[in-house]
Amino acid sequence: QVQLVESGGRLVLAGDSLRLSCAASGGTFSTYFMAWFRQVPGKEREFVSGISQRSTTYYAASVKGRFTISRDNVKNTVSLQMNSLKPEDTAEYYCGVYVGRAASILYGQRNEYNYWGPGTQVTVAS
């Protein structure tokens, strides 16, 4: 069992920066693929960014160049630095973890992930 808790979400203005963090407990964090997804009411949860066990990073086209994902295997945390925020980035942001042993996963598919945090709300005002 892995527990995830996100933090850092708040109300910001367009163009601002924000850093989200996800703290993990349980299991062996360094062996997990971690990801950030986001969801707005009435829409599917969508992939934002992922980071492999070896710190290879992946981004959705809508955030590439603005967001940066990183992980700290000592503190068992994954972070999402979000710059140049836009109103369309407004969403509940969720941290997800894949704990399996597959050599590769469909990192953009939410059903690949085994555990999720409760989410943190990011609101970007224009």
Quick one: pLDDT at residue 95? 98
**CA 96/CA 105 separation, integer angstroms:** 13
What's the burial of 59, exposed, middle or buried (CB within 10 Å: 0-12/13-18/19+)? middle
Quick one: pLDDT at residue 2? 95
- Report the Cα 111 to chain-centroid distance in Å: 15
Quick one: pLDDT at residue 74? 96
In tens digits, what is the pLDDT along the chain, a chain of 126 residues? 999 999 999 999 999 999 999 999 998 999 999 999 999 999 999 999 999 999 999 999 999 999 999 999 999 999 999 999 999 999 999 999 999 888 788 999 999 999 999 999 999 999
